[in-house]
Structures are given as structure tokens and as C-alpha cells.
């Protein structure tokens, strides 16, 4: 506290330029409010600076999420160098863009890893991402819809349906591993065309 008693002009200037309010600077640095205000006026800084922190993480997310046909969303921001997973840096750390998309839709934090469940890898559409319990719920729903008849444990390409079974919006059950392979093949055909 003693070393703050005569906070340097540089400290006060830095705090003002960072957008902190006069009252907070006076309290943090244990200086007189009038002194902070005088420096602020000398520097010609506005009385109220909108602090960067008032931009929410969801606002930042919307800057980088671009809608695509089919309800998918492409991520135009940062990505993990090895996994290519979409990332958003905010508040000095990296966040999963899919995780933020999940929170935008559900209003709550995800449990476990959030992944796109729509067949498009790294899609960040809020409606297309699921957390671990959500994926499990989808699989349970798949079993329920299959009703009386015995649920196939494996698709015709031998993918485990406890892991890859999905339900489309229209209630149709499908194998997501097969769908991904089909999508990759048609993408390759488009690239070759």
C-alpha cells in the first residue's frame, strides 16, 4: 500500500488508457480522484471509455461464424494448428468455438467435449453441435424410435451404432460414420470436377 501512495503518473496514465474508471483507479492505486481526473483531462481522454471487456464472447463469436447452405456454419477465425478445431481467444485464453455455439443454443455450459453432429466437420452452427450427454441422448432417442424391433447394433458397413447412430430432424435413423464417408466422397468428386 505504501508503494502505491505515490503512484507514478505512468501508472495512472496506463490505467486511464486501459479504460478503467477514475473511481476504480483511485481505489486501486490509492491516489486522489482529483489527481486522476486532472491527468485524464491533460491527456484529453474521454470521461467514459467503453472497456473492451464489455464486448461479450458471443459477440466475438458472431464476427467469425459464417452461415453456409444447409444450416451449417463455417469458422473464419483461429484454429488449432494440429486438430484444426475452431478457436476463439477472449479474455487472454482460447475457447472452443463449438463450445460457445452450444452455449448460445442452450444457455448453459457444455459437459465434456462439444462436436458437430451434422456430418460437416468443425461446423459451428449452434443447432448442429452437441455435448457428450447430448450425443448420448441422441443415441437413446435412436433406440426409442426403433421401438419394438430389435435395434441394429451395426450398420451394413459394420459401424457400431451405439457410437455412430443418429436421428435426423425428420426422425429418420442413420449411421453418421457412413454419412461422413458419403459426404467426403462427394466433396472429393466436387474437388475433382
Q: Residues interacting with Zn ion, by CB under 5 A?
A: 72, 118, 120, 123, 125, 128, 155, 157, 159, 175, 177-178
What are 165's strand-pairing partners?
A: 175
User: What is the nearest approach in angstroms of Zn ion to the Cβ of residue 77?
Assistant: 17
With respect to Zn ion, which residue has the nearer C-beta, 40 or 75?
75
Any idea of the CA torsion for 179, 185, 191, 193, to the nearest 10 degrees?
A: -120
With respect to Zn ion, which residue has the nearer C-beta, 22 or 123?
123
With respect to Zn ion, which residue has the nearer C-beta, 87 or 118?
118
Separation between Cα atoms, residue 93 and residue 98, nearest integer Å: 15
Element spanning 130, H or E: strand 129-130
What are 96's strand-pairing partners?
A: 87
User: What is the nearest approach in angstroms of Zn ion to the Cβ of residue 172?
Assistant: 14
With respect to Zn ion, which residue has the nearer C-beta, 100 or 123?
123
Three cell numbers, residue 48: 467514459
User: What is the nearest approach in angstroms of Zn ion to the Cβ of residue 60?
Assistant: 20
- Nearest of 173, 97, 96, 121 to residue 142 by alpha carbon: 173
User: What is the nearest approach in angstroms of Zn ion to the Cβ of residue 61?
Assistant: 15
Amino acid at each position: 500500500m505504501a508503494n502505491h501512495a505515490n503512484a507514478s503518473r505512468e501508472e495512472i496514465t496506463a490505467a486511464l488508457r486501459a479504460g478503467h474508471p477514475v473511481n476504480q483507479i483511485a481505489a486501486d492505486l490509492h491516489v486522489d480522484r482529483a489527481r486522476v481526473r486532472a491527468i485524464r483531462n491533460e491527456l484529453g481522454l474521454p470521461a467514459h471509455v467503453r472497456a473492451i471487456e464489455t464486448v461479450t464472447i458471443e459477440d466475438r463469436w458472431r464476427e467469425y461464424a459464417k452461415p453456409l447452405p444447409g444450416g451449417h456454419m463455417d469458422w473464419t477465425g483461429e484454429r488449432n494448428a494440429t486438430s484444426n478445431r475452431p478457436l476463439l481467444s477472449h479474455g487472454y485464453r482460447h475457447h472452443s468455438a463449438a463450445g460457445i455455439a452450444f452455449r448460445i443454443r442452450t444457455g448453459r455450459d457444455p459437459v465434456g467435449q462439444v462436436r458437430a453432429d451434422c456430418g460437416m466437420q468443425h461446423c459451428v452452427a449452434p443447432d448442429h453441435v452437441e455435448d457428450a450427454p447430448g450425443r448420448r441422448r441422441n443415441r437413446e432417442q435412436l433406440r426409442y424410435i426403433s421401438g419394438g424391433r430389435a435395434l441394429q447394433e451395426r450398420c451394413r458397413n459394420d459401424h457400431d451404432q451405439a457410437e455412430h447412430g443418429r436421428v435426423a430432424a425428420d426422425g429418420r435413423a442413420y449411421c453418421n460414420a457412413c454419412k461422413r464417408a458419403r459426404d467426403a466422397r462427394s466433396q472429393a468428386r466436387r474437388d475433382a470436377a
